[in-house]
């Protein structure tokens, strides 16, 4: 999606904050070197092409932006927040981006006035993919999220 909007002066970055579900392979970060290593592995595994920024070990940026594990923000020049979502759902993000870009272009010739709204959106939960992602961190990540398997 980031590549599709480069001609409209959109820049997309990924902020790597913390291991949401640490396990034996990817534990909680205690140093920036460890965090940098985990971020590179995450970027490669998920084929993230966007610029990736690292939060500090204390999580300063993560706390400032809401503490949730998969948030998305659209922030304009001057720091204006056009969109904030507690979860990244590509279709919802893209719809908000299109609406924002179109409004910013139209406001030059139309008397548009911004307003704040809030809504609940829906996404499909792909548990099989999620479980595979957790497995990368190690069995402890799966147990922490789902609980012990039957017979454990």
pLDDT tens digits, one per residue of 33-89: 999 999 999 999 989 888 999 999 999 999 999 998 889 999 998 899 999 999 999
Q: Are 41 and 130 in contact (CB under 8 A)?
A: no
Residue 150 lies in a domain: no
Residue 74 Cα distances to 18, 51, 95, 140, angstroms: 21, 15, 11, 34
Written as six digits, the tokens of 107 are 């406001």
Domain assignment present for residue 148? The answer is no
**For residue 150, what pLDDT band results from cuts at 50, 70 and 90?**
low
**Predicted pLDDT at 20:** 84
Q: Is residue 110 part of a domain?
A: yes
Task: Provide the β-strand partners of residue 70.
Answer: 87
Range of the domain at 104: 3-124
pTM of the model: 0.80
Asked if residue 143 is part of any domain, the answer here is: no
Q: Which residues contact 59 (CB under 8 A, 6 or more apart)?
A: 17, 18
Percent of the chain, pLDDT > 70?
A: 98
- Domain CATH code at residue 90: 3.40.30
- The whole-number average pLDDT for the span 77-102 is 93
Whether 131 is covered by a domain: the verdict is no
List of residues 6+ apart from 25 with CB closer than 8 A: 136, 137, 138
d(CA 134, CA 66): 22
**Residue 132 domain-assigned?**
no
Provide the mean pLDDT of the chain.
90
Indicate the number of domains in the chain: 1
Flag whether 144 is in a domain.
no
Of 63, 65, 82, 66, whose CA–CA distance to 74 is shortest? Answer: 82
């Amino acid at each position: 999606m980031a590549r599709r909007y480069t001609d409209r002066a959109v820049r997309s970055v990924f902020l790597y904050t913390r291991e949401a579900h640490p396990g034996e392979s990817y534990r909680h970060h205690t140093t920036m070197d460890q965090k940098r290593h985990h971020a590179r592995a995450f970027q490669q595994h998920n084929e993230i092409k966007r610029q990736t920024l690292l939060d500090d070990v204390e999580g300063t940026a993560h706390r400032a932006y809401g503490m949730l594990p998969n948030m998305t923000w659209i922030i304009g020049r001057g720091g204006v927040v056009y969109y904030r979502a507690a979860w990244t759902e590509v279709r919802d993000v893209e719809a908000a981006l299109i609406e924002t870009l179109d409004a910013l272009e139209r406001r030059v010739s139309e008397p548009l006035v911004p307003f704040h709204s809030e809504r609940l959106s829906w996404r499909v939960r792909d548990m099989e993919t999620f479980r595979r992602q957790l497995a990368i961190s190690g069995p402890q990540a799966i147990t922490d999220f789902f609980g012990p398997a039957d017979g454990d």
